[in-house]
Amino acid sequence: MSSGTPTAAQADGGGTTMGERATAMTWRIAERTQLSEGQYIKLRRLNVGLLSEMATLRNQLKAEPANLDQALSDLLQRYEWDVAALLQPKQLAVYDGLKSEFTAVNIR
């Protein structure tokens, strides 16, 4: 479970790999925002990185809840900036409406 390979790491209780979770997140966003193929690839890469970094932070800072919360907040803020830079204005407006859904369900 704590191997160095992010794509082999299992999701919490879900039995799916991090790569599968990233693909599912990306697909749901792509469906609603009508991403181009290039945007889809870039967003999936961002999602894999997000999930991987979150797992690393949780492992490294599990004994320091306040530091973990701050590190996760910083990570999510960087992710949001990267996603905003990737999307067109109309896509970003749709994504903004979906953010709470994806944050609450998929990031855990």
Q: Is 3 helix (H, G, I), strand (E, B) or coil?
A: coil
pLDDT of residue 1: 32
pLDDT above 70 for 7: no
Q: Which has the closest alpha carbon to 34: 78, 93, 85?
A: 93
Report the DSSP beta bridge partners of residue 10: 17
When mean pLDDT is compared across 15-19, 24-28, 35-39, 73-77, the lowest value belongs to 15-19
Angle at alpha carbon of residue 23, lines to 1 and 80, rounded to 5°: 95
Residue 69 · residue 96 · CB < 8 Å: no
Reported pTM: 0.77
Give the C-alpha separation, 49 to 22, whole Å.
Answer: 9
pLDDT of residue 14: 52
